[in-house]
Chain A
Amino acid sequence: MLIHAKRIIRSGWHSFIRSGFTSIASILIMTITLFVITSLIFVQASLNASLSDIKEKVDVTIYFVPGADEPSIKKVEESLVKLPEIKSITYTSALEALSNFKDKHSNDYLTLQALDELSENPLGASLNIKANDPSQYESIAKYFENDNALSKGALTIIDKIDYHQNKMVIDRLTSIINGAKSLGFAVSLVLIIISIIITFNTIRLIIYMSKDEISVMKLVGAGHKYVQGPFIVSGMLVGICASLLTILLFIPISIWLGNHMTDFIGINLYQYYKSNFLQLFVIMLGSGVLLGSISSFFAISRYLRK
């Protein structure tokens, strides 16, 4: 058994090395496939980065009437914290709101003067809410329309919730995000399937060229595994070389993308490549070896049936 495995591996290695140009051709074809797969992982990563960037910018703010007392506001906050949809809540007190406003308008003397004319703080406190997912803002907004959720006392201190102003933007963003996600997935799937078919056909052609050799092996009395084995080993070697080549190719590519495209894409792809290197390497190596061996297996089995 062991001696068989050793011979199969040696024979596969020999045919891989001696096929020279054919091996290089199949490595290049396989590299294209792995390149497509890795590029799509990059695209998905940058898509996800920009989407979460956009998601971060969506929020809902509850404005309280000026003079609402802090304990009642805290009570509202506490009840909100219990909702599973909510990611974070930031409390801004009336004083903070005033100083923020002053900062924002520090060059606008007219406004500041008008503000000074007023004896009391015209601004109310507010709670800024971020949800886990943009689609959840609606249910959070509805929560306040529900009498059971909060005591009537709490509802009277709420001035307004800006959800309804933001609703259109939020809805459109939600649909764009979902659309981009499913489109990205569909495009990736189609591209991956096409490149897998191309690789499979290349390997099939190479094995087709060896069909006389296969019949000779059978005539000499070699068993199926013994004929099949070396071809599968060669296929695996093609996969290993192609994945190494792809991994190397993506080093300069990701450095360039990291240096020049970070602002455009919204994520530094070199950093992404570095921090996910092991994972990406395993994905490439795994797909290369699987693709090579499975293609060889199926391509050769038709010549073994007889």
Chain B
Amino acid sequence: MIYFDNVTKKYKDNSSLEEVTLSIAAGEFVSIVGHSGAGKTTLTKLILAEEIPTSGTVFFESTDINKLSKRDLMNFRRKVGVVFQDFRLLPGKTAYENISFAMEATGKSDDEIREDVPHVLELVDLTNRAFHFPHQLSGGEKQRLAIARAIITQPDLIIADEPTGNLDPMNANEVINILKKINDLGTTIILTTHNKGVVDSIKKRVITLENGRIIRDDKEGKYML
């Protein structure tokens, strides 16, 4: 599904990713681990075409995502759900509206929105917080809302960039459990984290990055640094 062909990304003079080649198949749950600054976030930004590689190519299916037109890029991003460490919710919109916005943006009808949003809110256990604004929610609730927003459009891929970084262990576990559930339903998940407990509990593929290079890629790995 995703294929990095010898990708290097340099910021001014220090490089963040160096000669990374990897492929991720559909339906996988991949954890990307490494110290801060190892290149985890750069990797996710490259997948979303938020950054352009200095050299090498990033493919989604068989298309080079940096050669997409604006319109195709927009359509591509609709196939990818994103969850961030800092949640990145829309502060002026309620929980319900944060989710419905993603559906509205992709042109879904009002009926579909009325049907799907409560369903997803239930899945992440936020039904009774639907009309709260992000600043009225706890960290765990915010992250669950972000996941709800990411999955509402039924994306092929979900990128979760340090989703547990700001959460206590209990909330972190809950978030990971939701991600696992989504993965079981067939959605590919890329999770970046430096939380050992989280990675070890997943028992799926682990890619370890160090100084911008892949130093380990284990089928059923553990957090080892």
Contact = CB atoms under 8 A, between A and B. Distances in A.
Interface of A: 3-4, 7, 11, 14-15, 18-19, 212-213, 215-224, 226
Interface of B: 48, 50, 70, 74-75, 77-78, 82, 88-93, 97, 101-102, 104-107, 109-110, 149, 153
A217 B101 contact: yes
10 contacts: A4-B107, A7-B104, A15-B92, A217-B105, A220-B77, A220-B102, A221-B75, A221-B78, A222-B105, A226-B105
Given A218-B77, A219-B48, A221-B74, A213 B105 contact: no
Contacts of B97: 14
Contacts of B105: 217, 220-223, 226
Describe A's contact surface by its main secondary structure: helix
B88 A223 contact: no
Contact of B92 (A213, A218, A220, A222): A213
B92 A223 contact: no
A14 B74 CA distance: 25
Contacts of A220: 77, 101-102, 105, 149
A212 B84 CA distance: 13
Given A217-B105, A221-B102, 15 more contacts: A14-B92, A212-B88, A213-B92, A216-B88, A216-B89, A217-B90, A219-B48, A219-B77, A219-B82, A220-B105, A221-B75, A221-B78, A221-B106, A221-B153, A226-B104
Closest 3 CB pairs of A and B: A221-B78, A222-B105, A220-B102
A221 B77 contact: yes
Contacts of B106: 221
Count chain B CB atoms within 10 A of each CB in A4, A216, A222 and give the residue with the most.
Answer: A216
A15 B107 CA distance: 20
Contacts of B104: 7, 226
